[in-house]
Amino acid sequence: MIDERDLLQRTARRFAPAPGIVERVYRRRDRKRRNRRIGAGVLALVLAAVAIVSVVRAFRAVGHLTPAHEPSIAPVAACPPGSTADEPGPVDQARPSSHYSNMPMAFDRDSGRIVLLDPRAHATTTWTFDVCTNTWHRMSPDRQPRGIQRDGRLVYDADSDLTIALFGERQVWAYDLESDTWIEEGLAPIHTGGLPNIHMAYDPVSGLVVVREAVPSRSRHPYLSDFRSWLWTYDVDSDVWVEIHETIPMDQPGSQWFTDPPDWLQFVYDASVSRFVAFVPQGDTPAWTFDLPTATWSPMKAIAPSVNTAYGLGEEAVYDEAAGMTVMFSRGFVVGYDASADRWTTLYGHPWEQPGCCQPGPLNRVYHQMVYDPINERLVVYGGSVLDRTPSQTTDVWAFDVATREWTQLVAQS
């Protein structure tokens, strides 16, 4: 009997595919099987724990019920013994360029590193940041995304163990950190010709990347027109896009942000409620949640606070797994949103319009990038523009711990 792998290799040779395509297909398949086995084990442990807790609670008086948070979004690496995650990295180390803000970042859970794209003029470079040693590493892939705009998006696909990059030119690339390889995928079927009209988030339940785009419907000027939005799912293993026909109750409070400029919109997957959370931090509208299986948007009641993003690009919020909330930071203000309780909390600083909001250090900045570090259970902030008498670009790295509400400098400004 002919082996399946041998048959695929014979067929592939007839059509002269790109080098390594067969190995890549099987590597992706094996990764998905591995992740599903680990996920099944985690789920079994969680179900067993729930059963034990239920038995114990049966013999206790009924108290205040608290929402149960889901297990980790995906397995994550651990720092090796002797790591120095809480000590600053070398100040003289090489690092990404300081010429651009909004360099896209994503956290690779399997390797325990942050992936960053530095879109220097006609020469994109790929960097990784080791959160266990607080050191930058310039990678050396054979090829890198080319001709891109600086305002791209990155998201880590845990199911496939790949970092997905999407740019305004509709280019889609996938990065395998283990092999230091960029793979060019097919063009995205999106309508917009540039960012910040695109937002991306990963759904760990379906294993798909969800993309939201907004396109001006009346005028070419992005601030003088209504916007029409689309939602897509993307499966990197098959390179397939599927449009989601979403249900939007436009008569509900706060629904105007579906037709407003998308610059301030934040779009995050919240594992505590197994939904996507979207909000505009302007102090006058509530957050909305999106349920992927039913393709339905639902308005919440609590009004999102006003946070100055200085026309940011929608990368100022991430989901903190340890805290079980979506956390947003910009210009001196850190706020958290507990979707399970529909409650906003000020975690650090003051609103930007209040005196003393923007002290030196990590706070007085916009246009930065932020990711969640699940290994050390903290937020990691890189770069951005410091709003001083003379705005300047930064190359320092900071971490914020929601539990202690403290900032830690991981790499000082060079």
Residue 136 in contact with residue 128, Cβ under 8 Å?
yes
CA distance 69 to 321: 9
Over residues 385-399, mean pLDDT: 76
Within this chain, do residues 18 and 138 fall inside the same structural domain, yes or no? Answer: no
258: which DSSP letter? G
Within this chain, do residues 173 and 255 fall inside the same structural domain, yes or no? Answer: yes
Within this chain, do residues 27 and 127 fall inside the same structural domain, yes or no? Answer: no
3-class DSSP state of 51: helix
What is the average pLDDT score of the chain? 77
Within this chain, do residues 52 and 121 fall inside the same structural domain, yes or no? Answer: no
Tens digits of residue pLDDT in 256-309? 666 655 567 889 999 999 999 998 887 778 899 999 999 999 999 999 888 877
Backbone angles phi, psi at 47, to 5 degrees: -65, -40
Residue 47 forms part of a structural domain: yes
Within this chain, do residues 337 and 219 fall inside the same structural domain, yes or no? Answer: yes
**DSSP secondary structure string, 313-335?**
-S-SEEEETTTTEEEEEETTEEE
Residue 99 forms part of a structural domain: no
Note down the domain range covering 211: 112-411
Residue 74 forms part of a structural domain: no
Tens digits of residue pLDDT in 332-372? 789 999 999 999 999 987 655 555 555 656 777 778 889 99
Residue 285 forms part of a structural domain: yes
Per-residue pLDDT, 148: 61
Over residues 398-403, mean pLDDT: 96
CA distance 79 to 298: 39
Instruction: Give residue 83's Cα distance to chain centre.
Output: 25
Report how many domains make up the chain: 2
- The helix-helix angle for 21-58 and 4-14 (nearest 10°) equals 140
Within this chain, do residues 160 and 25 fall inside the same structural domain, yes or no? Answer: no
Per-residue pLDDT, 15: 38
Q: Amino acid identity of 39?
A: G
Residue 302 forms part of a structural domain: yes
Q: 234 has which bridge partners?
A: 209, 241
Per-residue pLDDT, 277: 95
Within this chain, do residues 18 and 162 fall inside the same structural domain, yes or no? Answer: no
Residue 78 forms part of a structural domain: no
Per-residue pLDDT, 151: 61
CATH code at position 285: 2.120.10.80
Per-residue pLDDT, 353: 55
Give the model's confidence band at 230: pLDDT under 50 very low, under 70 low, under 90 confident, else very high. confident
- Between 149 and 331, the higher pLDDT residue: 331
Residue 152 forms part of a structural domain: yes
Within this chain, do residues 150 and 25 fall inside the same structural domain, yes or no? Answer: no
Tens digits of residue pLDDT in 85-140? 999 999 999 999 766 556 889 999 999 999 999 876 567 899 999 999 999 999 99
- For 329, 347, 348, 351, the CA distances from 357, given in Å and listed in that order, are 12, 13, 10, 6
Give the model's confidence band at 190: pLDDT under 50 very low, under 70 low, under 90 confident, else very high. confident
